[in-house]
Homo-oligomer: A and B are copies of this chain.
Amino acid sequence: MSQGHTDVTVQAGPLDHICPLNELLDRISGKWAIGILTLVGDRGPIRFTELERGVRGISRRMLTLTLRNLERDGLLVRTVHPTVPPKVEYSLTPEARELAAILADLTDWALRHRPQVARARAEYDARAQAERER
């Protein structure tokens, strides 16, 4: 599964900080991109306000910015219906649908391992605390 994928080390060309890992990170990092992609994937074509309600805690500004970036990268399609009041819908491009599937796996992983991670964190903090008191 993790067989054929690329080497992170990429044999030392001086230009190789163009590593695709960082490009990927620029795409899905930020607090909101994954959540938005997931939601758009689940709810099909979805309106701005629906997204705003669906992604808990996001501000109008960050929703707009994240949508623009995803659109710019060719992951989202923005469709404007010239009605009044305006109606704008967002949907995934085919490539983004592939990505959304992987992100679903990620979310699944997070769900399954949530308790273990919480426990590990508590133990680590407890040990760190104990050492500080020695």
A residues near B (Cβ < 8 Å) are 1-2, 4-10, 16-25, 27-31, 34-35, 38-39, 41-42, 53-57, 71-75, 95, 98-102, 104-111, 113-114, 116-117, 119-121, 124-125
A57's contact among B17, B95, B107, B111, by CB below 8 Å, is which? Answer: B17
The CA-CA distance from A29 to B27 in the complex, in Å, is 11
Q: Is the CB of B107 within 8 A of A72?
A: no
- What secondary structure prevails in chain A residues at the interface with B? helix
The chain B residue with its CB closest to the CB of A106 is B102
A2's contact among B31, B72, B116, by CB below 8 Å, is which? Answer: B31
Q: Is the CB of B95 within 8 A of A56?
A: no
The CA-CA distance from A76 to B69 in the complex, in Å, is 32
